[in-house]
Amino acid sequence: MTDPNPPLVSSWQIAGIFSALLFAVCIGLVAFVKHEHRQAEQAVAQQKAAAASQVAAKEMEKAAAISAMAQEKTATETAVKSTEAEKMALATRLAATEREKAAVEKTESEANARLSSLKRDQEKLSQASLSIFKVPAGCRAVAGTSAEPYTRSGWAREVIHEVTGIELVYVPAGDFTMGSPTTEAGRGNDETPHQVTISKGFYLGKTEVTQGQWTKLMRTGLKDQVRLALKDDTVYYWGSKKCTFRELKGCQADADSAELIGNEAPDLPMYYVSWDDSLAFCQQGGGGLRLPTEAEWEYACRALSGTALCSGDMAILGKMNAPALDRVAWYGGNSSVGYEGKGWDTADWTEKQYPGGNAGPRRVGTKQANAWGLYDMHGNVWELCQDWYGDYPINTVTDPSGPITGVYRVSRGGSWNRDAGGCRTAYRSWYVPGIRYINMGFRVALAPAVR
């Protein structure tokens, strides 16, 4: 029986259509795959080309870097070679310099050796010349002395006066300013500065004349001098008081002289000596002994210094208080320090550096000497000079000896009971020729003459 609604397409037709469609899809898919493959191959090819290009660029950079490094290496090697050449040249110059230095050092060493030899020869000649010297008549040379080294005069530096045993020191000729500047503390109005020439060298006692030297020559002692003072009827000025010595002391002419003296010893300075007594001593000793002139005394005291003391400047802190004096002087401020035995009480002395205690003249030569070897030029006892006291000249003078006549004789140096200002180098004091007192002594001088 025939289907009244037969299908429009048969099954085999559907199968054919489906197969055709499937085939077409397969063909399309294959074509798509091929197309994608070609696309992928092209991308890979492009990537390979890009990579190859990059590799080529890297190779070029590498080649450029290698070339630059080669150039730098070449330049460095060239610089190194140049530096080595410079180093060798420098080493050569250094070696030459060392040779020159060695030559200079050798020459210098030879020159120094020659100079040392010349100095030794000069010293030998100098010592030989100093070992030959002249000695004044009436004197002998001190053991171990030499010729005076200051002016090469040929005189012995230190001698001993045969008769008295006094040791004297040579003082060379020279120029100096006598007096004091207006600014010097403790200055007196009679210390006008003026130029003085000492034209000839002379000898001056190394210390003040001692009690031992006095007794050896004069055959008298300290008590004998006091007895002369007690028997002296002359009226003197003692500061503001006018009277005899015994009236000053409140005793009679026959009073015990031992009560009016301090210690007695051979190495203590002689005191209670008048100007007349000191002149008699020099005359008795002979051999050219005399008192120094005032100019000689100050010149010798200064020993070329221009200061208040031979040792330098001096600050005065009180009437009897100047510490600078401690090194060179026994004065009112320190003469009681370490003092033992008979003496004078200093309890009422005002403005004293070391207050209280007994005091008196001290052993000579125990303080520092000046530059010419003279001791006690400041303090201990006053030292009498040849001159009459008078005003100084204002002009330059040579070998002055003071006024022709006068009333008072000059004394210098200060003393163990004197204030600080009175112990200055330039300070001037004066006494009538016959007066004797507890602080008055002297030092001798001698003008050399060949025996």
pLDDT value of residue 448: 85
Task: Kindly state whether residue 118 falls inside one of the protein's structural domains.
Answer: yes
Are residues 356 and 318 part of one domain?
A: yes
Q: Which contiguous run of DSSP H or E holds residue 279?
A: helix 275-285
Stronger pLDDT, 197 or 64, i.e. the higher one? 197
Task: Specify whether the CB–CB gap between 244 and 235 falls below 8 A.
Answer: yes
Stronger pLDDT, 280 or 4, i.e. the higher one? 280
Token digits of residue 310? 């031979």
| Tally of domains in the chain | 2
Task: Kindly state whether residue 1 falls inside one of the protein's structural domains.
Answer: no
Are residues 416 and 370 part of one domain?
A: yes
Q: What is the domain extent for residue 169? A: 139-446
Task: Kindly state whether residue 73 falls inside one of the protein's structural domains.
Answer: yes
Are residues 210 and 292 part of one domain?
A: yes
Are residues 144 and 126 part of one domain?
A: no
Are residues 152 and 64 part of one domain?
A: no
Task: Kindly state whether residue 323 falls inside one of the protein's structural domains.
Answer: yes
Task: Kindly state whether residue 18 falls inside one of the protein's structural domains.
Answer: no
pLDDT value of residue 96: 80
Is residue 1 pLDDT above 60, yes or no? no
Are residues 252 and 224 part of one domain?
A: yes
Instruction: Report which of 396, 376, 226 is spatially closest to residue 310, judged by C-alpha positions.
Output: 376
Summarised one tens digit per residue, pLDDT across range 113-131 is: 877 776 675 655 455 444 6
Q: Write down which residue in 61, 95, 130 finishes a domain.
A: 130
pLDDT value of residue 450: 46
Q: Which residue has the tokens 């004797």?
A: 436
Q: How far is CA 391 from CA 100, 188, 401, 411, in A?
A: 71, 12, 12, 14
Stronger pLDDT, 397 or 62, i.e. the higher one? 397
Task: Specify whether the CB–CB gap between 424 and 301 falls below 8 A.
Answer: no
According to DSSP, the β-strands at 445-446 and 289-290 are antiparallel
Are residues 284 and 340 part of one domain?
A: yes
Summarised one tens digit per residue, pLDDT across range 10-55 is: 777 777 777 777 777 778 777 787 887 788 778 777 878 777 778 7
Q: Write down which residue in 95, 130, 165 finishes a domain.
A: 130
Q: Average pLDDT, whole number, for the chain?
A: 90
pLDDT value of residue 449: 64
Summarised one tens digit per residue, pLDDT across range 318-329 is: 999 999 999 999
Q: Which residue has the tokens 């010729």?
A: 147
Q: Residue 2's pLDDT band (boundaries 50, 70, 90)?
A: low
CA 438 to chain centre: 39
Task: Kindly state whether residue 422 falls inside one of the protein's structural domains.
Answer: yes
Summarised one tens digit per residue, pLDDT across range 214-252 is: 999 999 999 999 999 999 999 999 988 999 999 999 999
Are residues 201 and 116 part of one domain?
A: no
Task: Specify whether the CB–CB gap between 423 and 315 falls below 8 A.
Answer: no
pLDDT value of residue 17: 79
Are residues 91 and 174 part of one domain?
A: no
Instruction: Compute the average pLDDT of residues 343-351.
Output: 96
pTM: 0.72
Stronger pLDDT, 197 or 70, i.e. the higher one? 197
Residue 392 CA to residue 193 CA, distance in Å, equals 8
Are residues 200 and 346 part of one domain?
A: yes
pLDDT value of residue 125: 47
Summarised one tens digit per residue, pLDDT across range 127-186 is: 544 468 999 999 999 999 999 999 989 999 999 999 999 999 999 999 999 999 999 999
Q: Write down which residue in 101, 130, 159 finishes a domain.
A: 130
pLDDT above 70 coverage of the chain, percent: 94
Summarised one tens digit per residue, pLDDT across range 257-300 is: 999 999 999 999 999 999 999 999 999 999 999 999 999 999 99
Q: Residue 4's pLDDT band (boundaries 50, 70, 90)?
A: low
Q: What are phi and psi of 233, to 5 degrees?
A: -90, 0
Q: Residue 8's pLDDT band (boundaries 50, 70, 90)?
A: low
Are residues 286 and 232 part of one domain?
A: yes
Q: How many CA atoms lie within 13 A of 63 on its CB side?
A: 6
Task: Kindly state whether residue 61 falls inside one of the protein's structural domains.
Answer: yes
pLDDT value of residue 124: 53
Summarised one tens digit per residue, pLDDT across range 376-424 is: 999 999 999 999 999 999 999 999 999 999 999 999 999 999 999 999 9
